[in-house]
Chain A
Amino acid sequence: MNIEKLQKKLLAVARQDAPSDRVPYAFEKRIMARLRQAPAADAWVYWGRMLWRATAPCVAVMVVLSVWTFYSASGNGSEVNLEDAVLAPVQLAYE
Chain B
Amino acid sequence: MERSDDELIHAVLNGDTESFELLIQRYQPRVFATARRYARREDEVADIVQEIFIKAFQKLSGFRRDAPFEHWLMRLAVRTCYDALRVHQRNRESLFTEITEEQSEWLERFNANPDGADDHGDAARQLVRKILEQLPPAARLVITLLEIEERSVKEISALTGWSVPLVKVRAFRARAAMRKILDKMERDKYL
Question: Does residue A27 face the partner (Cβ distance < 8 Å to B)?
Answer: yes
Chain A interface, number of residues (Cβ within 8 angstroms): 33
**Are A10 and B127 neighbours in the complex by a CB distance under 8 Å?**
yes
Given the interface pairs A9-B114, A13-B119, the reply to whether A1 lies near B186 with Cβ below 8 Å is yes
Q: How far is the CB of B156 from chain A (nearest CB, A)?
A: 16
Task: Provide the residues of chain A in CB contact with B150, threshold 8 Å.
Answer: 15
**Are A14 and B132 neighbours in the complex by a CB distance under 8 Å?**
yes
**Are A6 and B114 neighbours in the complex by a CB distance under 8 Å?**
yes
Q: Give A20 to B128 CA distance when docked, in angstroms.
A: 17
Question: Does residue B159 face the partner (Cβ distance < 8 Å to A)?
Answer: no
Contact indicator per residue, chain A 30-47, by CB within 8 Å of chain B (1) or not (0)? 111011101000000000
For chain B, residues 2 to 47, give those with C-beta under 8 angstroms from any C-beta of chain A.
17-18, 20-21, 24-25, 28-30, 32-34, 36-37, 46
Task: Provide the residues of chain A in CB contact with B147, threshold 8 Å.
Answer: 11, 14-15
The 8 Å CB contact of A6, one of B29, B36, B57, B182, is B182
Counting chain B CB atoms within 10 Å of each CB, which of A15, A28, A36 scores highest?
A28
For the complex of A and B, the 5 pairs showing the least CB-CB separation, nearest first, are A19-B36, A21-B29, A21-B33, A28-B24, A10-B128
Ordered by A's residue number, 30 sampled pairs between the chains whose C-beta atoms are within 8 Å are A3-B179, A3-B183, A6-B110, A6-B182, A7-B179, A9-B114, A10-B124, A10-B131, A11-B148, A14-B128, A14-B147, A15-B147, A15-B148, A16-B119, A16-B120, A17-B125, A19-B37, A20-B33, A20-B36, A21-B32, A23-B32, A27-B49, A28-B25, A29-B21, A30-B50, A31-B24, A31-B53, A32-B21, A32-B24, A35-B20
Which residues of B does A touch, CB under 8 Å? 17-18, 20-21, 24-25, 28-30, 32-34, 36-37, 46, 49-50, 53-54, 57, 107, 110-111, 114, 117, 119-120, 124-125, 127-129, 131-132, 143, 147-148, 150, 175, 178-179, 182-183, 186, 191
